Structure 1
Amino acid sequence: MERPEGDARVSATGLFRRKPIDTIEAPEEGGLRRTLGLWQLTAIGIGGIIGAGIFSLAGAVAHETAGPAVVLSFLVAGVASAAAAFSYAEFAGLIPRAGSAYTYGYAVLGEIVGWFIGWDLLLEYTAIVAVVAIGISGYFNDLLGFLDISLPSWMLGAPGTEPEGVAAGTYKVNLFAVLLCLLIAYVLNRGMRSAARFETSLVYLKVGVVVLVIAVGAFHIDAGNFTPFAPFGIAGVFTGAATVFFAVFGYDAMSTAAEESRESQKHMPRAIIYSLAISMVLYVLACLVLTGMVDYRDIDPNAAFSAAFESVGLSALGAVIAAGAILGILTVLFTFLMGATRVGYSMSRDGLLPAWLGKTSAARQVPARITWILGAAAAVIAGLLPIGEAAELTNIGILLAFVVVCTAVIVLRYRRPDLPRSFRCPWMPVVPIVGVVFSIWLITFLKPETWLRFAIWFVLGMIVYFAYSRRHSLLNRASEP
């Protein structure tokens, strides 16, 4: 007879014991406070999706890889990301708990799968925060130079990142990036209600800047710039899609806030779909404007939109866009640091990490300890590593999370068709299979250095799991006589 899903008994090894879905919604004292509504969740998702992708990556891909067909690159990446988004949406409506892919993997595929996804996401999300902080720091340093403001050289960058003409060893730390990471940790620890207001305000500003770009730039489009449309061929379109794919997720980190959402089973699936849909519309329109304003060969890959408006005599607007980009990209820091802390909180609550890490503050009901720890970790990475080395810590864990979530949604649909689902992934199992295939395909594009760092983190995770987590797991304790 098939064992019921809610049974907490484990196999001989216990590696694939599953969190019982039937009891996963049980309220717990000292948990997170439900304060987020639909549009706050959507804003957090947009905040994680729209960032450097639209302000710099779109220009770089158009210039170097796809030409005007960069718009197709974003559409291909968006379709692939949507396949994963539908899977996330089904789980978000079914399991309204913090942790996202970690929780879903734990509940469907077993503890060892959940552990490694959670372990990977801790590193990936924290590294993304560091990478974005370094990027914003670069914009900030350029802005200071424009204002003719000089700061001590030791605080301008990580060791070894000195530009040509600056003596090696001059830079000691990227202090502004460090302070940004700590600022976001502080904002998150003020409580989710006030933190969400901060995030939502910046998202409105960012979307306003993008809409301004589209509205004004549309009057400066030269149709001749769209020819040739795909100068690098279909291969360039798909290579561009692989590159920009990392600019069209963010809803995965937002979904970690399910436990802080009001009416989570109703709002979270909608917020995932809305945030991706709104972001994709803005991406497509902005790409059409950019490649219509400037010949793709003349696009500035570092500051595409600012340079484009300067080229048509609107330098002042270009400066406004640059300033708005700096503030808008802050929302990416918020979304991914929040995601990292909620994954860590869930893992500690399940006994896979020490319980004191996930303890929530009595006044604000946020996991303050894990927030400061991960904020400090991001600050160290941002302060001491070049952006290229920090970026190599990202991507693979998130792609593996997509594979796990898309696989798990298929498994659970056939294992437990009776469970009440407020949202159902369409065209099952084709859509999640597309998500799995595309994610695995993208993994093959990753550099050997990324695989090496992942292997090191994986081995460290195995040590931690077998030395501590397996024995302290709440499911393990529940199975003991």
Structure 2
Amino acid sequence: MDMIKRAFQRESVEGYLQKDSQMKRLLTTKDLIGLGVGTVIGSGIFILPGHEAASHAGPAVAISFLLAAIFSGIAGMAFAEFSSAMPVAGSAYSYGSVVYGELIGWLLGWSLILEYFLAVSAISTGFSAYMNNLLNIFGVHLPKALQAGPVEGGTINLLAVLVILLVTWVISRGINTSKSIENGAVFIKIAILILFIVGGSFFVKTSNYVPFYPKEFQTGLLGLHGITAATAGIIFSFLGFDTIAAHAAEVKNPTKTMAKGILGTVIISALLYTFFAIILTGIVNYKQLGVDDPAAFALQTIHQTQFSIVITIGALIGMFTAILAMVFASSRLTYSFGRDGLLPKQLGHVSKRHQLPTNALILAAVVETILAGLVPLSTLASLINIGTLTAFLFISFGIILLRQRKDITNDGFKMPLYPVLPIISSFISLLLIIQLPAETLEMYLIWLILGIVCYFIYGIHHSSLGKK
């Protein structure tokens, strides 16, 4: 078979379902929302509103969060339809392999690997910063050599490494243990955020909302560049719902449960983010919010120092649940690659004791631990966004190809207003990708080229699809 033709050969849904039959279906709608909100309401809500308000949109950052939520909801519908039609592990990788062909599926998975691995590492370094601040309050000071990697003048970011190892241990205990901890922590985190929103509303100064959208940010088409740039940066905050699709092979009644889990996550997260941004920019002028802990800073500004410690604890819980959900998803994606032979087959092995892809979990944890402990990720953070947006683009447009497949039946959720919404979602994804810095696009292109090289050197020759 011609190599190019072979690269675009399509996998069957039945083949994936058979391979994933070794996974245990235990997750409910509540569990999926716990995983989704646990990921979405992570470091983003405690860091991004301040930075984006100060750098791009002012108080109008609340609009950017709302726009990001609406777009994520539309893209989420595409993921919900795919996961309903093919409830298999691998998320965009598996969906792309079925509707576009193996090479495109691999590149989508390669993009998600970038998203997941960097997100775990980035969030864990944020966790380390918050934990160090909390320890300092209580008079505990770690040596500087243990607070950062060698590039930043230290030896290793110890707390970032330890939180990933702790999360990996929790996941290794089985899916029941993971979901119980995730659900409990998410409940506490939401309660703390609601407390900030309600309590902070008494300290809002309406003068901080003027101007609502500052003139210095009103550039580009219709003067909306500030808002759209903030929206593009905020997409990182909503990457959680696409990780839900990675668990489709472990979900009860996926034709109904997946859509409820994905859309429920988007709605809850949208409300929390938008109200959080409104209250935050009402307490403190947007020009002062370019800090890594804007909520705690705002509370200290109004002399609510004790409450700022509560917010710090909430941020730590939020980041812990986000790391747990992302390590969970990255291990499932790595498992999918091994399952299909695009990476060594051992990664597709599922342990009999806990019915978990143990080898994939270990590999994901090792890579993420090295990145978090040794490498500063500030210059790579926007790569997380482009991996997410690329998946949104192809999965949204893929709905059109999915509907044309007579061999795939879907009795569950279907994206409304077809084909208008899939096209709109695809267009917005492309528009937001263009908004990202040129440096990000260049690094992402290098990553894709590396992925193509890996596929043609190893994947195409070991793929189980090619052996059929």
For Structure 1 versus Structure 2, the TM-score category normalised by the shorter chain is: over 0.9
Q: Is the 8 A contact 2:396 2:422 kept in 1?
A: yes
Q: CA deviation at 1:421?
A: 3.4
Q: Distance in 2 between matches of 1:417 and 1:282?
A: 40
Is 2:288 aligned against 1:298? yes
Q: Specify the code of the residue in structure 2 equivalent to 1:16.
A: F
Deviation of 1:13 after TM superposition, in Å, equals: 2.6
How far apart in 2 are the matches of 1:281 and 1:416?
A: 38
Matches within 5 A, 1:304-323: 304-323=294-313
Q: Distance in 2 between matches of 1:124 and 1:396?
A: 8
Could you tell me how far apart the structure 2 residues matched to 1:114 and 1:33 are?
24
Kindly indicate whether the alpha-carbon contact (under 8 Å) linking 1:406 and 1:432 is maintained by their aligned counterparts in 2: yes
Q: Does 2:339 match 1:356?
A: no
TM-score (norm 2): 0.93
Counterparts in 2 of 1:319 and 1:218: CA distance versus 1, 3 Å: same
Q: 2:209 aligns with which of 226, 232, 238?
A: 226
Q: How does 1:411-430 map to 2 (within 5 A)?
A: 411-416=401-406, 419-430=409-420
Q: Which ranges in structure 1 are unaligned for 5 or more consecutive residues?
A: 1-8, 162-168
**Residue correspondence of structure 1 range 21-420 to structure 2 within 5 A:** 21=13, 24-26=16-18, 31-161=22-152, 169=153, 171-231=154-214, 232-233=217-218, 234-299=224-289, 301-391=291-381, 393-416=383-406, 419-420=409-410
Q: Flag the 1:152–1:228 CA change in 2: closer, same or farther, 3 A.
A: closer
Q: Secondary structure at the match of 1:425?
A: coil
Superposed displacement of residue 418, structure 1:
7.0
Structure 1 residues 153 and 293, CA gap change in structure 2 (3 angstroms): closer
Separation of aligned partners in 2, 1:309 and 1:400: 37
Using the TM superposition, name which of 392-401 and 377-386 deviates more.
Answer: 392-401
What is the CA distance between 1:410 and its match in structure 2? 1.2
Residues 142 and 273 from structure 1, CA distance in 2 versus in 1: closer, same or farther, beyond 3 angstroms?
same
2-structure distance, mates of 1:159, 1:455: 27
- Tell me how far apart the structure 1 counterparts of residues 61 and 93 of structure 2 sit (CA, whole Å): 33
- 2:422 aligned to which of 432, 435, 438: 432
Q: CA offset at residue 311 of structure 1?
A: 2.4
CA distance in 1, matches of 2:73, 2:336: 25
Check conservation: 1:392, 1:449, Cα contact below 8 A: no
Using the alignment, how far apart are the partners of 1:473 and 1:397 within structure 2?
Answer: 23
What is the rounded CA distance, in whole Å, between the counterparts of 2:442 and 2:118 in structure 1? 16
Equivalent residue, structure 1, for 2:9: 17
Offset from partner CA, 1:294-349 (integer Å, 9 cap, x none): 22233353222112222223211111111211121111111211111111111211
After superposition, the C-alpha distances for 1:62-89 in whole angstroms (9 at most, x for unaligned) are 2222111111111111122122111001
Instruction: For structure 2, list consecutive stretches of 5 or more residues without a partner in the other structure.
Output: 219-223
One-letter identity of the residue aligned with 1:429: P
Q: Distance in 2 between matches of 1:302 and 1:464?
A: 37
CA deviation after TM superposition for structure 1 residue 15, in Å = 1.5
Partners of 2:266 and 2:342 lie apart in 1 by 32
One-letter amino acid of the structure 1 residue matched with residue 190 of structure 2: V
| Distance in 2 separating the partners of 1:24 and 1:347 | 12
The Cα of 1:277 is off from its aligned counterpart by 0.5
TM-score, normalization: structure 1?
A: 0.91
Deviations 1:24-55 (A, max 9, x none): 433655x2111111101111011111112211
Confirm or deny: 8 A CA contact 2:47 2:292 kept in the other structure. yes
The total of aligned residue pairs comes to 461
The alpha carbon displacement at 1:194 in A equals 0.6
